[in-house]
Amino acid sequence: MDFQLTEEHLMIQKAARDFAVNELLPGVIERDEHQKFPAEQIKKLGELGFLGMMVSPKYGGAGLDAISYVLAMEEISKVDASASVVMSVNNSLVCWGLETFGTEEQKQKYLVPLASGQIIGAFMLSEPEAGSDATSQRTIAEDKGDHYLLNGTKNWITNGNSASVYLVMAQTHPEKGSKGINALIVEKNMPGVTIGAKENKLGIRGSDTHSVMFQDVKVPKENRIGEDGFGFKFAMKTLAGGRIGIASQALGIASGAFELALKYSKERKAFGKEISQHQAIQFKLADMATRIEASRLLCFKAALDKDHHRDYTLSSSMAKVFSSETAMWVTTEAVQVHGGYGYVKEYHVERLMRDAKITQIYEGTSEVQRIVISRSILS
């Protein structure tokens, strides 16, 4: 076993780092404050291939492995987690789901523009009463022969307004429970689609999170992904990969905060010396670095399982729960190392601390990850 990255991995990591520093860092505080979606930056990320990283070049993607994806997600998230969540949803939830389970027609029509970054997508599972309990879908896709009639409301949708294409989970056969759910490809401009108000969030404030309503939306049958009733399994399988993306986002938030704390600790003086020379700070830095490294290894493990076509349900949930809890802890410590400066926006760490919190909530709360992990180890 060798933990060395290849030349190609290092190049991708550098490209993502350069992009983050040159394109995302300027204006990140202002976008956070004014909840401004990084539209121009996302367009450029798409042009560079970061929105369809693991998709085959045949469908407009970059054809890279999941390790490359972890590296890029970490670098982008160090600077702007609002941009990296767009990247994660588009790559892991939308593109992967379409490439793996879509028909050739669906891939040509939707995956090609999504993977090449011409448009972005959204993944719609959560509802007002179906967050962790994802089988309790109230959105209905009534089978009308050649089409489904879609009615319902989806909540907390990342890219809710900026996405042009949605993957929507909806119940067709309520008596069948999770086996009655379908995954449908819905276009934003289909009649009956309404975008609700933007959520005013604690963190990742630059990303656009909305509710989305469907009223008598006619979705052609050819827009169903997989067999009738495959929707819940589709969502679970897709989310397993999504959790690698969010684990890597959490890793990036933590390592971004750590780098800032390390730098600050070498500049700031107290009691006659740099604070990095005080053992109280050294122990914090040592613990931060150790937990971040453990997160990184768990992310790599999950990515390698995916690249080698092994089941990654367990490893992705382990990576996500550990990395997100690490991100929350490390960012809080990074604010502490900065003292009063950490509490003001100019020093970036307070934003990273706010951004860290969502990684313990979306794509399955920490409690959901523990359900997945315990089921796996008990089975």
Q: Is 372 in the site for ligand CAA (CB under 6 A)?
A: yes
Residues 6 or more apart whose Cβ sits within 8 Å of residue 4: none
Q: Is 240 in the site for ligand CAA (CB under 6 A)?
A: yes
Q: Is 125 in the site for ligand CAA (CB under 6 A)?
A: yes
Nearer to ligand CAA, 127 or 350 (CB): 127
Q: Judging by beta carbons within 10 Å of its beta carbon (0-12, 13-18, 19+), is residue 377 exposed, middle or buried? A: exposed
Separation CA 227–CA 102 (nearest Å): 11
The residue from 129, 274, 363, 367 that is catalytic is 363
Reply yes or no on whether 222 is catalytic.
Answer: no
Residue 227: CB minimum distance to ligand CAA, A? 13
| Binding flags for ligand CAA, 64-93, as an x/- string (CB under 6 A) | ---------------------x---x----
Nearer to ligand CAA, 138 or 268 (CB): 138
Among 35, 151, 161, 178, indicate the residue that binds ligand CAA (CB under 6 A): 178
Rg (CA), the chain: 21
Residue 7: CB minimum distance to ligand CAA, A? 32
Return the range that interacts with ligand CAA (CB under 6 A); candidates 124-132, 166-174, 196-204, 249-257: 124-132
Q: Is 313 in the site for ligand CAA (CB under 6 A)?
A: yes
Q: Is 314 in the site for ligand CAA (CB under 6 A)?
A: no
What is 139-176 written as a DSSP string?
Answer: -EEEE-SSEEEEEEEEEEEETTTT-SEEEEEEES-GGG
Measure Cα distances from 203 to 67, 82, 110, 328 in Å.
26, 8, 30, 12
Q: Is 132 in the site for ligand CAA (CB under 6 A)?
A: yes
Q: Buried b / exposed e across 309-329, counting CB within 10 Å, b at 16+?
A: eeebbbbbbbbbbbbbbbbbe
Q: Is 236 in the site for ligand CAA (CB under 6 A)?
A: yes
Evaluate whether 351 touches 32 at the Cβ level (below 8 Å): yes
154: phi then psi, degrees, rounded to nearest 5: -110, 145
Q: Is 366 in the site for ligand CAA (CB under 6 A)?
A: no
Among 135, 151, 161, 366, indicate the residue that binds ligand CAA (CB under 6 A): 135
Separation CA 322–CA 270 (nearest Å): 33
Residues that bind ligand CAA (CB under 6 A): 85, 89, 123, 125-126, 132, 134-135, 158, 178, 232-233, 236-237, 239-240, 313, 362-364, 368, 371-372
Which residues does the annotation mark as catalytic?
Answer: 363
